[in-house]
Amino acid sequence: MEKVNESVNAQISFTDFSLSVFKNFPNATVELEGLKVINNAPFAGDTLAYVGNFSAKVNLKDILFKGIRILQALRILPIRCCSECTHE
C-alpha cells in the first residue's frame, strides 16, 4: 500500500484482505474489507470513499505474470462517496 499511497494524493487503507483460487477457479477471487480513501492536504482527513466489502474476480495467470486485471466486480457494498454522504 505504501507505493499506492505515494502515487495518489490520498491515503488508501483496508482492514482485511483475502485471496481465493477456489471460489471462481480457474480465476482468483480478491476480497477487501473496510476499504477507505482519505484525502491529504489541502482537505486532509476528508473521506473521499469508503467501501465496506469489495470482491472481484481476477485472472490468476495475470496476477502471477502480468499484474492484476479485474475481470468482474462481484460485490461492492456498502459504498459512501464522502464524509457527508448518507447513501449506503
Q: Please give the Cα distance from 34 to 67 (Å, whole number).
A: 23
Is the pLDDT reported for residue 86 higher than 60? no
pLDDT by residue (tens digit) across 12-24?
Answer: 899 999 989 888 8
Q: Please give the Cα distance from 32 to 54 (Å, whole number).
A: 5
| pTM score, whole prediction | 0.63
Q: What are phi and psi of 62, to 5 degrees?
A: -65, -40
Q: Please give the Cα distance from 21 to 43 (Å, whole number).
A: 39
Tell me 8's DSSP state. Answer: S
Tell me 69's DSSP state. Answer: -
Here the cell at position 12 is 488508501
